[in-house]
Amino acid sequence: MIDSNAFNENVKNTTLLAHVPIEITVSVGRANPLIRDLLLMGSDTVLPLDRGVNDPVELYIGDTLIARGELEELDGENKGQLAVRLTHVSDLQSDFS
């Protein structure tokens, strides 16, 4: 049975937080260079990542994985801007309760 008071309180709290901005980090890959390679890096250095261009990316809030998706390039007014099309979203209700 659902406690209507608890439900109403959750809705109220969600409404209060709805306009608070958060930062989402999109992880496209990781690199593991040696320190000597790091010290030799310059402006034209290419740093290989552990993923390919078409591999999924991960979205985090802090250290919490919240979704996975695919990188896309926007068209129109925002042509050239990167975006992420979400392919899997975590159950945030249970993750943050």
Rounded Cα distance, 79 and 72, in Å: 11
Q: What is the pLDDT of residue 15?
A: 74
Mark the ranges of the chain whose per-residue pLDDT is less than 50.
Answer: 1
Question: Looking at residue 73, what is its pLDDT?
Answer: 94
Query: Whats the size of the chain, residue-wise?
Result: 97
Paired with 3 in beta bridges are none
Q: How many CA atoms lie within 13 A of 92 on its CB side?
A: 10
Please choose, from the candidates 64, 71, 72, the residue with its C-alpha nearest in 3D space to the C-alpha of residue 90.
64
Predicted pLDDT of residue 38? 93
Q: Supply the pTM of this predicted model.
A: 0.72
Task: State the pLDDT at residue 13.
Answer: 64
State what percent of residues in the chain have pLDDT above 70: 80
